[in-house]
Amino acid sequence: MDKATDKENFTSNPEDERYMRMALREAEKAFEEKEIPIGCVIVKDGVVIGRGHNQIEMLKDATAHAEILSIGTASGKLENWRLEGATLYVTLEPCPMCAGAILNSRISRVVYGSPDTRFGGCGTTIDVITNNALKRDVEVVGGVLADECLGLLKAFFQRMRLEKGDSGAKS
């Protein structure tokens, strides 16, 4: 079975669901800030060492994805850019940029919620992680709390469409 669609790995792993719920809380922060609601936490040895959510609009920075910000936080906390043995939990499958950062930071495992059929870099659209040129082994598990993660994204875009329609009607 394809790694990106292997739903059996997470159903028996309550730890994955626990940390994905933390990532969802980060995504909710992004939602409230009118950012695309993607959240991320990084865990090593049972301790959250990094967390973040999209801040592209706030920081006016195309690279301010939840994963990139979380990697920066985790590296700062460990005072080391090498995050070997860490697991990254993110509500939406990482894009190719974030997948590259995951490889470069040497994260060992990626667990994502909803697959990204447009920009997914962990096997859905393109696979930056598996058989990578850096010869890094990264385990990828997709679909953890996928319905909740996707539901938050859908609610966000629906809200944005409504607000755009409302502001257009008032003009």
67 is catalytic: yes
Single out the catalytic residue among 67, 93, 148, 163: 67
**CA distance linking residue 102 with residue 94, whole number of Å:** 9
Class of residue 158 by CB neighbours under 10 A (exposed 0-12, middle 13-18, buried 19+): exposed
Element (H, E) at 159: helix 146-170
Q: How many other C-beta atoms can be found within 10 angstroms of the C-beta atom of residue 87? A: 19
Contacts of 53 (CB under 8 A, 6+ apart): 26, 27, 29, 30, 33, 35, 37, 38, 39, 40, 66, 69
Q: What residues are labeled active site?
A: 67
